[in-house]
Structure formats: structure tokens, C-alpha cells
Structure 1
Amino acid sequence: MNYKINKIELEENGYSILTDLYSQNEISEILACIENAEQVENSFMRTKDLFAIRQLITNVPELSDLLFNKKLTELISDLTESEYFLTKAIYFDKPSESNWFVAYHQDLSITVDQKVELENYVNWTFKKGQYGVQPPVQILEDTITIRIHLDKTDKNNGALKVIPKSHLNGIIRADSKDWNLENEFICEIEKGGAMLMKPLTLHASNRTTNRKKRRVIHLEFNKYRLPKPLAWLEYYNIKKPVYNHSY
């Protein structure tokens, strides 16, 4: 797996695709762990079109060792020149009969522990017991999103569509002429693969039409310490695994 190529693609195009981040056995263990999790009222959301778990590592801590395997920790290390840590983790299950779609957008919000009046921190929200805020654009530009695919995903079951290089235009207004859909690319991902993305990359997904599941774990990483007294709600320091070497 050539992480250097993925890093170049990510920086230039705003996204990159990996095919074999997790084995089939690892995916089965991850799914079993999620299915056996005790459901917490505010963090678990279930409708006919979507099942989601917010603050995934906080609510299902057993997942951390399964998710942060050797390949993922090496990937993060190779993508970044400084120490990155986890800032957000969400599990999405788009059921086979889902009629849910998402229009083109950028991911502009981070989750934090409290609401504080700070310069350049705007558009505050409070949903499901957690605060969200749009931070200074540099924090968004330096965020790395890794979407782990627990099912094979294609255009028929909600694969993300992206506009390559759109992350280079900063924050784009909904009525902007920068919403050029001619270059749209559909990110089809194998089971056990992953999609790397910059949050300012314009992305969307269609309804499911082939009655197949699309289960994804969405992870966001950053390197910035927020100005006190503000803190990342889901801060998680990535532990480097120790491997025994036999000679």
C-alpha cells in the first residue's frame, strides 16, 4: 500500500481511495463489536433511513483497538508530519431500503465540549447533547477524514460523490459558481477499504437503489489544540501499537 501516493492525491484532489485497510476478519470483529454495544440515548440515532452512533469511541471503547490496527496507525503517521489525534468518530448504517440522500456540502463543523465566545468560532449548534461550531478555516484545511467502509459501496448504495480539487477554494457558498458538477467523481470503495477526504471537498451521496447496506465509520483527525477553555469533545490520542518481532 503506497501511502505516499495517497497523501499526494489527498492534498491535490481532496480525496483518495484505499482498497485493503482491513481484512474480512477485522471487519467482522468491528461489526460484531458495534452490534453488541449498549445503546446510549443521546448518541444512538435510529430511523427507517439511517442508524448512527455519535461519539463512537466514547460509547463503544472496545472498538479502539480494532480500528487502530497497524495499517491505520501507519497511514496516519505517513499522511502527517506532526502528531495528529482523533477529534470525531461516527458510525453510519444506511439500510438496504434507505431512501435517504445528502446534497452537495462541505463539512464545516467540529464538536467541542462547551459553548465559548471566541473570535472566528461561528455558527454554533447544540444537537443530541453536543456542541458544534465552525472553527477558523485553517483548522478545517488541516483536518483529515478517513471513512472506513464495512460494506462494498458503489453508486447504487450511496457511495460518496465528490468534486475533485474543490477543497482548494476554501469555504464555498451554496449559491457560488464554484459548484461545478461537471467533474463529479463517484468514490466506489471495496469492503475493508477506506476513503481519505479533506472536509472542504464538496461531497454528496444518492439514495440506495440496489437494496444493499452501506455501513461506514467516519473518523476525523487534527493537530490543533483549541484555545482555552474550549476543547475537542472527542479527543482521543492514537496509541502506537507494539508488535512482537520473532527472529
Structure 2
Amino acid sequence: MAVPEYSCDAEGNFIVTDQVLSSFEEFGCILVRKLLGEREISSLKQTIENDLTLQEASYRRNDGEGGRSRTVIWDDPSDDITGAIARSYKVAGTFQKLLKDEVYHYHAKVIMKDAKTGGAHTWHQDYGYWYKNGCLFPDMGTVFIPIDDTDQGNGCLKVIPKSHKAGRIDHVRIGDQAGADKDRVSYLQQKLGLCHVEMNAGDALFFHSNILHRSDQNHSDRRRWAYLIAYNTRNNDPVIDHHHPKYKQLIMLPNSAISDCVNDAGSSKAPGNRKFFEGPTKDPSLPKIQG
């Protein structure tokens, strides 16, 4: 089963039509090709590569399969191109229409699967984490934007389309991750199939918080880095305090604001101003290890 695919218009804008909305509601995810143009994705790539503070704040996560990936997470959108993308109409505005409610920036992160050493991310639902954060409903979602081309060779995303209709599945701790019940995942995969979501840098996968997804270890000679932005809805404001924010109005920006961040050399004009999350040992979203 394939994920529904769409494209931006000639000006680089993306419109959520009735067909797009129907696809998202049916499959729980949509793939938008070339959401970011060549200069935009090049600037995003350079910004992340050159941000030494971001690199130093990254931490390694054990995948429970003998591998590790690096992750860095922050809550508030930054002043650089990462923040412009997160606040843009073609990203935040798209999710607002898909989720049918005002959205706010829940958090953003970069997942770094380096060549030959990048660990897997076990089968999970994002709501498997966020349920523990006091979010009462799964009215949330994530956009996955690869910084590098991603395919089966370097550990692309795998999703089970329509699995969001199964509701929240029990999660247990696997390494430094929360993994969905393996038997339930197996049954759903047999019934619904799975899709390897191969993407080029600048494409974007929008997916519902209850979609089951995973990625394999990267045994290739190519790295696989990706920028992810998570959104929550205003009416799903968390009922407890935790490490991710409660509702804060998101001031959306025109899509042109992304290009405005790119200087003549192709990199981001503004520096980042992020307050980073400290790592998995302090993550209350993870199931506790018994004993």
C-alpha cells in the first residue's frame, strides 16, 4: 500500500484540497514532494551542519538492537530557517487544515543517522509518547523533512498506512525508546501492509500521531539526517506540566519567509536561539523500567 503523494504548485505553495484532506483522514499520512525548494533545503542543511551548539546538544539513543542514533530536541521555534519552516503556511498551515484546529509548535528535532552506525527507531506511535505528557487526545501530528535523500539502504521511514484508526497501542520501553506492542504491530501489518517511504531531501511526510512508523539501522555509506516538527492543537492543551510546552499561539509566516532566511551564499541569515531538551534519561514520556 502506497502513501498518497502530492506536489506544490509552481510558486512552491501547497494547498490542502478536499482530496488531500480525505487522503489524510483515510491513510493517516500524506507525502508532499519538493515542499522545500533547492535553495531552502540547502540552507536548512547548512544551518544544521554549521550549528555547533546544536551538534553539542545532541545525545545518542540506544535502539535496543545494538545501534544508536543521535537526536537533538527543542521546544520553541528558532529565529533561523528552522523556525521559518516551522511557522510557514505550507507546513504549520497545512497541519492546521489537516487536524481541523489551531495548531501550535509542540517541539522540533533533528534525528541524525550517521553512515554505518545510525540506529533504528522501533515501531511506535508518536502519541505513544505524548499520551504520557498529558495530551488527552491524539489530535497531533509530525512533519518529517529529510535533509539527505532517504531510501531503504540508509534507513528510510516505514509506515503502516491507516494504522491510526486502530487507536493508541500500548508501548513499552525498548532501549531509550518507547516501542509499540510487537504482536499488535504484527497483526496490523498483516492486515494493512506497510510502505517504505523513500524521499528526496526537501520532500515532506505529514503524519497523524497514531500512525505506526519505524526506521531501520543505517548500514550504508550515506548518512540519513532529518528535521522533524511536531504540532499539537489548541483544544488538546496538555493537562499536566511536562518538558514540552502547553498551548502558545503560533504566529504563522508566509512561505516567502523561508526564502527570506537564505542569504546569497545559500545559508541561513539568522543564528539559532534554541533551548535544548537534555536527553532520554530525563524524558517522562518513556515507560519506566521495572525492577
**Above 0.5 in TM-score?**
yes
| Selected match of 2:117 from 95, 98, 104 | 98
Counterpart amino acid of residue 218 in structure 2: T
Residue 7 of structure 1 pairs with residue 21 of structure 2: yes
Q: 1:75 maps to what in 2?
A: 94
Identity %: 21
Structure 2 distance, partners of 1:79, 1:197, is 10
Contact 1:159 1:187 in 2 (8 A): yes
Q: Secondary structure at the match of 2:186?
A: coil
What are the equivalent positions in structure 2 for 1:1-247 lying under 5 Å apart? 1=8, 2-4=15-17, 5-39=19-53, 43-46=57-60, 49-55=68-74, 57=76, 60-62=78-80, 63-107=82-126, 108-110=128-130, 122=132, 133=133, 135-136=135-136, 138=137, 140=138, 142-173=139-170, 174=181, 176-177=183-184, 179-180=186-187, 181-182=189-190, 183-223=193-233, 224-227=236-239, 230=241, 233-234=244-245, 237-241=249-253
- Offset of residue 6 of structure 1: 3.5
Segments of structure 1 that go 5 or more residues without pairing to the other structure are 111-120, 123-132
More helix by share: 2
Structure 2 distance, partners of 1:242, 1:162, is 30
Contact 2:69 2:120 in 1 (8 A): no
- Offset of residue 176 of structure 1: 4.2
- Offset of residue 243 of structure 1: 8.0
Q: Secondary structure at the match of 1:104?
A: strand
Q: 2:260 maps to what in 1?
A: none
Counterpart amino acid of residue 29 in structure 2: Y
Contact 2:149 2:224 in 1 (8 A): yes
Counterpart amino acid of residue 179 in structure 1: S
Structure 1 distance, partners of 2:22, 2:208, is 12
CA 86–243 in structure 1, closer or farther in 2 if over 3 Å, else same? closer
- Offset of residue 80 of structure 1: 3.8
Structure 2 distance, partners of 1:101, 1:178, is 16
CA RMSD of aligned residues (A): 2.9
Contact 1:3 1:75 in 2 (8 A): yes
Structure 1 distance, partners of 2:184, 2:92, is 38
- Offset of residue 77 of structure 1: 4.0
Contact 1:30 1:67 in 2 (8 A): no
Deviation per CA, 1:173-196: give whole Å up to 9, x if none. 415445332301111112100111
Counterpart amino acid of residue 141 in structure 2: I
Contact 1:144 1:220 in 2 (8 A): yes
CA 41–154 in structure 1, closer or farther in 2 if over 3 Å, else same? closer
Structure 2 distance, partners of 1:39, 1:234, is 22
Segments of structure 2 that go 5 or more residues without pairing to the other structure are 1-7, 9-14, 62-66, 171-180, 257-291
Name the count of aligned residue pairs: 219
- Offset of residue 85 of structure 1: 0.7
